[in-house]
Amino acid sequence: LAIEDRDKSAASRDLASAFVNSGYFDLVADLRAGADLARLTERREAAAILIVPENYGRDLAGGRLARAQLVLDGADANTATTILGYATAVAGEANLAVVRAARGRAAGAPTAGGAPTAANAGGVAPIDYEPRVWYNPELKTTQFLVPGLIGFILMLTAVLSTAMSVVREKERGTMEQLRVSSLSAGELLLGKTLPYLSISLAATTIILLAARVLFGVVVRGSYLDLFIITFIYLVGALGLGLLVSSIADSQAMAFQLGAGISMLPAILLSGFIFPIRSMPLAVQVITYAVPARYFLVALRGVILKGAGLAPYGRDVAFLVAYALAVLGLAFVRLSRKEV
């Protein structure tokens, strides 16, 4: 939770304390007025932002409705729904606390002129709490799951198709013929990856078209950014497939090994279905080695939030390092005479 307290009154501090002390929220930032809230959510520094406007305390003291707003990052619909439930409960408790305090004061001294206030008028809440969901206002799970499906499908197809193609050469005995030809190891890698890179990019286009037509998922960001992050991710996936092919000696082994190190982590350890923050600490540490985790963060930022790649520099840097590492290992192994 980040808090932008524009009122700086005792009443606004009480409201902020109600959220922080509830046990549901961890305060990560105390924002100044006019802070860039969109950038905060793009970088995933805060899942929710409490905004307390000017005159909040004065409105409460004067018996008028005091407004407060909670901005939620709705890219993850399940998490946003949970946060919304917690925040509504906290706001309700804050309203009850204000009403009890107002009734206690009213019991000791009548209001000026005998006019009822918003706090002691029957059934009227003194705090007008207004939640606002960004990026996915209707909290549709398809908006969250479709980008995850892209990461899963691309990882699965790229790894398995590349691994199977090279291992098939081994089984047929044509790998040795390729090795004694004038082809270098780099040319062999390029020839085995370019076709499947093209197929994977075409699959990405088909998935995005289907998501737009069937589920109404609109790419709000730049298609160039989308292409760049997808290309980097695919290069790493293709490199992983080549690395698997250099280890496996049969297509059955290549399929099992490729599926085990690509499909399962992409589903279970990437945040695609299960929130990473709810996982055990030991499992969370393992997720840092899963490229799909970083790809989905940047992909959802581009598709759902309309963000560029700048807020996700760390994620892009990891994907680049991962791609270079697996391609380097694959190159070394495929260059060996015994492969």
pTM > 0.85? no
- Cβ proximity of 66 and 15 under 8 Å: no
For 206-255, the pLDDT digits (tens) are 988 998 898 888 888 899 999 999 999 999 999 999 889 888 888 888 88
The span from the first CA to the last CA of the chain, in angstroms, equals 53
Name the stretches of the chain with pLDDT < 70: 105-125, 176, 178-179, 336-339
pLDDT at 124: 52
Among the listed residues 310, 160, 325, 145, the one whose alpha carbon sits nearest the alpha carbon of residue 228:
310
Among the listed residues 236, 246, 235, 262, the one whose alpha carbon sits nearest the alpha carbon of residue 163:
246
> Rounded CA gap, 1 and 14, in Å?
15
> Rounded CA gap, 283 and 254, in Å?
25
For 246-292, the pLDDT digits (tens) are 888 888 888 888 888 888 888 888 888 888 888 899 999 999 999 99
